[in-house]
A and B are shown apart, each in its own frame.
Chain A
Amino acid sequence: DIQMTQSPSSLSASLGDRVTITCQASHDISNYLNWYQQKPGKAPKLLISDASNLETGVPSRFSGSGSGTDFSFTISSLQPEDIATYYCQQYDRFPPRLTFGGGTKVEIK
C-alpha cells in the first residue's frame, strides 16, 4: 500500500523567497506525480502534471521535479497570491490507485 509523505505541513516565508515542498513515495512511481494549489473555499487547481509539466497559464515561478520516489515543488519567488495550501497527488498503477499528500499550508512571514 503506497504512502505519500509531504513536507513540511506548513511553512512561513517572506515575499520574494524561494519556497520548496517535497513529496516522497513509499515505492517507485516513475513520474506519476501532480501538484495542486487550493485556496480557502475553492476547489484545487492543477499546477503541474507528470512531475514537471507546467499547466497552461500557470506562472513560470512554479516548477516541479523528481522521479521515482522523491519529488519537489518550488515557487521561485513567493507572491501574495501564492498564499494557499499545496498538495501532491500520485498515481499508482498496481493496483490502480490515486493518493494525495497531506498538504502544505504556505503563509507569509
Chain B
Amino acid sequence: QLQLQESGPGLVKPSETLSLTCKVSGGSISSSSYYWGWIRQPPGKGLEWIGSIYYTGSTYYNPSLKSRVTISVDTSKDQFSLKLNSVTAADTSVYYCARHPARLLAARPFDYWGQGTLVIVSS
C-alpha cells in the first residue's frame, strides 16, 4: 500500500523559507505513470494546488505561487521536497503531499495523499 508522509518544521519565521519533504513508501517515486504534488489548505479554508513534479525533475507550478516555489525530487531516497520562500502569515496552512497520474488527455486526480502537516508562519 502506497504511503506518503510529510515532514519538516512546524514553525517558520516571516520572510524565511518554508521547507518540507514527502517520503514515499510502498512504491517507487520513479514510476513513469505519476506526478507528485503539493497542496495546501489554510485553516478553515479551501484547497490550493502548489505544484507537481515528475521523477525526471520536470515540474509545473501554480502561477500565483511560481515565483516563490521550488519543488525537487530525490529518486534515490524516494522523496520529493517543497521550498517556499519569503513566507508571510498568509502561508500558514496544512501542507499535503499527494500523487496524481501523468496522463496527458485525462483529468489528473490526486489518488494518494499524505496526512498533512501544519506549518505556522510567525515570529
Contacts and interface: CB of A to CB of B under 8 A. Distances in A.
A43 B114 contact: yes
A91 B76 CA distance: 29
Q: How large is the interface on A (under 10, 10 to 19, 20 to 34, 35 or more residues)?
A: 20 to 34
B96 A89 contact: no
B107 A96 contact: no
Interface string A30-49: 01111010100001111001
A45 to B, nearest CB: 8
Contacts, number: 71
A100 B62 contact: no
Interface of B: 37, 39, 46-49, 52, 60, 62-63, 96, 98, 100, 104, 106-111, 113-116
Interface of A: 1, 31-34, 36, 38, 43-46, 49-51, 55, 87, 89-91, 93, 95-103
